[in-house]
Structure 1
Amino acid sequence: MAAALFISPATARTYVSRLLAKLRARDRTQLAVIALRSGVVAPTSGGAAGPGGAR
Protein backbone atom coordinates (compact mmCIF):
# COMPACT_ATOMS: atom_id res chain seq x y z
CA MET A 1 0.00 0.00 0.00
CA ALA A 2 2.78 2.45 0.90
CA ALA A 3 4.56 2.03 -2.43
CA ALA A 4 1.36 2.66 -4.39
CA LEU A 5 0.87 5.94 -2.46
CA PHE A 6 4.57 6.92 -2.64
CA ILE A 7 4.86 7.08 1.16
CA SER A 8 7.01 5.15 3.61
CA PRO A 9 5.68 2.00 5.31
CA ALA A 10 5.93 3.80 8.66
CA THR A 11 3.71 6.63 7.37
CA ALA A 12 1.17 4.10 6.07
CA ARG A 13 1.08 2.41 9.49
CA THR A 14 0.55 5.79 11.16
CA TYR A 15 -2.33 6.63 8.80
CA VAL A 16 -3.97 3.26 9.43
CA SER A 17 -3.60 3.68 13.19
CA ARG A 18 -5.18 7.14 13.05
CA LEU A 19 -8.07 5.88 10.93
CA LEU A 20 -8.67 3.01 13.36
CA ALA A 21 -8.84 5.46 16.26
CA LYS A 22 -10.95 8.12 14.54
CA LEU A 23 -13.48 5.65 13.15
CA ARG A 24 -13.40 3.44 16.26
CA ALA A 25 -12.68 0.42 14.09
CA ARG A 26 -11.15 -2.66 15.70
CA ASP A 27 -9.05 -3.76 12.69
CA ARG A 28 -8.23 -3.12 9.03
CA THR A 29 -11.05 -5.38 7.91
CA GLN A 30 -13.57 -3.20 9.71
CA LEU A 31 -11.98 -0.14 8.05
CA ALA A 32 -12.58 -1.80 4.66
CA VAL A 33 -16.22 -2.46 5.53
CA ILE A 34 -16.68 1.16 6.63
CA ALA A 35 -15.10 2.37 3.37
CA LEU A 36 -17.42 0.15 1.30
CA ARG A 37 -20.56 1.14 3.19
CA SER A 38 -19.76 4.86 3.03
CA GLY A 39 -18.98 4.75 -0.70
CA VAL A 40 -15.31 5.71 -0.35
CA VAL A 41 -14.42 2.64 -2.41
CA ALA A 42 -16.48 0.56 -4.80
CA PRO A 43 -16.72 -3.23 -4.54
CA THR A 44 -14.69 -5.14 -7.10
CA SER A 45 -14.94 -8.66 -8.42
CA GLY A 46 -12.12 -11.14 -8.49
CA GLY A 47 -10.64 -11.24 -5.02
CA ALA A 48 -7.31 -9.41 -4.69
CA ALA A 49 -7.40 -5.66 -4.40
CA GLY A 50 -4.50 -5.16 -6.78
CA PRO A 51 -0.92 -6.12 -7.51
CA GLY A 52 0.51 -8.10 -4.63
CA GLY A 53 -2.86 -8.47 -2.93
CA ALA A 54 -3.55 -11.68 -1.02
CA ARG A 55 -6.24 -14.01 -2.29
Structure 2
Amino acid sequence: MKLTLTKQEVLLIQLLLHIYKNDLPDDVTEKHGRFVGKLYKKIKRQVINQLKQ
Protein backbone atom coordinates (compact mmCIF):
# COMPACT_ATOMS: atom_id res chain seq x y z
CA MET A 1 0.00 0.00 0.00
CA LYS A 2 1.36 3.40 -0.95
CA LEU A 3 0.24 6.58 0.76
CA THR A 4 0.60 9.99 -0.81
CA LEU A 5 0.97 12.93 1.55
CA THR A 6 1.62 16.60 1.04
CA LYS A 7 4.86 18.09 2.31
CA GLN A 8 2.98 19.86 5.10
CA GLU A 9 1.37 16.60 6.23
CA VAL A 10 4.75 14.86 6.33
CA LEU A 11 6.31 17.71 8.31
CA LEU A 12 3.41 17.59 10.77
CA ILE A 13 3.82 13.83 11.25
CA GLN A 14 7.55 14.28 11.82
CA LEU A 15 6.94 17.04 14.34
CA LEU A 16 4.39 14.95 16.23
CA LEU A 17 6.74 11.95 16.32
CA HIS A 18 9.59 14.13 17.58
CA ILE A 19 7.42 15.64 20.31
CA TYR A 20 6.06 12.21 21.24
CA LYS A 21 9.55 10.71 21.53
CA ASN A 22 10.83 13.58 23.68
CA ASP A 23 7.82 13.37 26.00
CA LEU A 24 8.01 9.61 26.61
CA PRO A 25 8.15 8.81 30.32
CA ASP A 26 11.41 7.37 31.63
CA ASP A 27 9.85 3.99 32.37
CA VAL A 28 8.97 3.36 28.70
CA THR A 29 11.01 0.60 27.17
CA GLU A 30 14.12 1.55 25.24
CA LYS A 31 12.82 -0.59 22.36
CA HIS A 32 9.76 1.64 22.01
CA GLY A 33 11.90 4.79 21.96
CA ARG A 34 14.15 3.29 19.29
CA PHE A 35 11.11 2.31 17.19
CA VAL A 36 9.79 5.88 17.23
CA GLY A 37 13.25 7.23 16.34
CA LYS A 38 13.62 4.79 13.44
CA LEU A 39 10.16 5.67 12.16
CA TYR A 40 11.06 9.38 12.24
CA LYS A 41 14.29 8.74 10.31
CA LYS A 42 12.53 6.52 7.76
CA ILE A 43 9.97 9.24 7.01
CA LYS A 44 12.75 11.81 6.69
CA ARG A 45 14.71 9.56 4.31
CA GLN A 46 11.61 8.97 2.16
CA VAL A 47 10.97 12.72 1.90
CA ILE A 48 14.57 13.38 0.85
CA ASN A 49 14.39 10.63 -1.79
CA GLN A 50 11.14 12.03 -3.19
CA LEU A 51 12.58 15.54 -3.38
CA LYS A 52 15.54 14.22 -5.40
CA GLN A 53 13.23 12.72 -8.04
Superposition TM-score, scaled by structure 1 size? 0.39
Q: TM-score, normalised by structure 2?
A: 0.40
- Greater RCO structure (CA 8 Å; 6+ sep): 2
Larger radius of gyration: 2
Higher helix residue share: 2
